[in-house]
Amino acid sequence: MLTFIRKRSMASLISLVGLVVLVFFLSRLTGDPTDLYLPIDASDEMRAQFRELYGLDDPLIVQFGRYVGNLVQLDFGESIRKARPAIDVVLEAFVWTLQLALITMALVTVAAVVVGSLAAFRVGGFFDRVSGILSLVAASAPDFWIAIVAIVVFAVGLGWLPTSGTGTVWHWILPIAVLFIRPFGLIVQVVRGSMISTLSSAYVKTARAKGVRTRSIIFVHALRNAMLPVITVIGDQAASLLNGAVVIETIFGFPGVGKLMIDSILQRDFTVVLASIIVTALAIFVMNLLIDLAYAALDPRIRH
């Protein structure tokens, strides 16, 4: 198991290095920060001083080497826009994104496992047909379209919910609801398929013949063995929430790392963009590692 973790860690490190190289050079294609942070009539001398202050006057390869050297020392640089360490700015925003993702994923997992399991118990029944149609629609609907419709209907039309911010519980409802829909539909389909296969097993038929209660058959005997493929999808969807939150956070004005990343790209705050990418990539790596460990906990054979 330790060997497997080491291999996964090395593969993730290589991917992270490639991502840093790619983002570093692509971010420089967005333009010169002096055009944004200095007045239009700024002199050439002022522009030269600004570039020298933030190390933008050196060739790109020199800037990259200096950035990597600082990164090895856990120095992510300073935000041009906020004049603060970039990592501090990113971590403040990432806390909001992490809360949003954890709350949404907890609700999605519980709801999808219950609905998918109940649908699989009576295949072709009324509940199975209704949940199947709704989950397919949910899995197919684009997040940005749902977000816009939700704002138009519930915020503008009915006036029930605010459109942006995080001040109260009501501010969280629309972002969570929009992020909930797509992974819920996907996970319900996977749970249903896995449970149908598990419920047809001999030991489940034996439990039914012995008169074991339906709830125990579904949630005690069958669910654990059906969870392996489900865990994979849950992990993928949790990672997708961190990535997909970029669009949703921007639409709802949610102060997470996704919105910060978009704002930093538009404002050419290169250090914050890179710090956002690195923190998000590390979070996804840790999440995937936890999924692998959960696999081993559910099926001891995987440990070998």
In three-state form (DSSP H/G/I as H, E/B as E, the rest C), the secondary structure along 17-65 is HHHHHHHHHHHHHHCCCHHHHCCCCCCHHHHHHHHHHCCCCCCHHHHHH
* 67 and 126 in a common domain: no
Lowest mean pLDDT among 112-116, 198-202, 295-299: 295-299
- Is the per-residue pLDDT at 35 higher than 70? no
Q: What is the pLDDT of residue 217?
A: 67
pTM for this prediction: 0.76
* 208 and 240 in a common domain: yes
What domain range is 231 assigned to? Answer: 86-303
Q: What is the pLDDT of residue 302?
A: 56
Confidence class of residue 25 from pLDDT cuts 50, 70 and 90?
confident
Q: What is the pLDDT of residue 129?
A: 87
Judge whether 76 and 87 are in contact, CB under 8 Å.
yes
Into how many domains does the chain fold?
2
Cβ neighbours for 6, distance < 8 A, ≥ 6 positions apart? none
* 276 and 166 in a common domain: yes
* 132 and 17 in a common domain: no
- Is the per-residue pLDDT at 304 higher than 60? no
Cβ neighbours for 132, distance < 8 A, ≥ 6 positions apart? 119, 189, 192
* 111 and 64 in a common domain: no
In this prediction, residues 197-209 reach a mean pLDDT of: 70
Q: CA 28 to CA 56: how far, in whole Å?
A: 10
Q: What is the pLDDT of residue 289?
A: 76
Q: What is the pLDDT of residue 244?
A: 64
In this prediction, residues 38-59 reach a mean pLDDT of: 73
Q: What is the pLDDT of residue 1?
A: 61
Considering only residues 170 and 37, tell me which one the structure prediction assigns the higher pLDDT. 170
Token code pair at residue 69: 């050297």
Confidence class of residue 109 from pLDDT cuts 50, 70 and 90?
confident
* 47 and 141 in a common domain: no
* 125 and 11 in a common domain: no
Among 72, 99, 131, give the residue marking a domain's end: 72
| Burial readout 54-73 (b: 16 or more C-beta within 10 A, e: otherwise) | bebeeeeeebbeebeeeeee
Lowest mean pLDDT among 93-107, 166-180, 232-246: 232-246
Among 39, 72, 105, give the residue marking a domain's end: 72
Closest CA to 283 of 138, 105, 113, 111: 105
In this prediction, residues 202-231 reach a mean pLDDT of: 69
- Is the per-residue pLDDT at 303 higher than 60? no
- Is the per-residue pLDDT at 299 higher than 70? no
* 66 and 95 in a common domain: no
Residue type, position 197, single letter:
S
Tell me: the pLDDT tens digits for 238-273?
A: 777 776 677 788 888 888 888 888 888 877 788 888
CATH of the domain at 187: 1.10.3720.10
Lowest mean pLDDT among 24-33, 134-143, 158-167, 210-219: 210-219
Q: What is the pLDDT of residue 141?
A: 81
Query: In DSSP terms, which residues pair with 222 in a beta bridge?
Result: none
Q: What is the pLDDT of residue 10?
A: 76
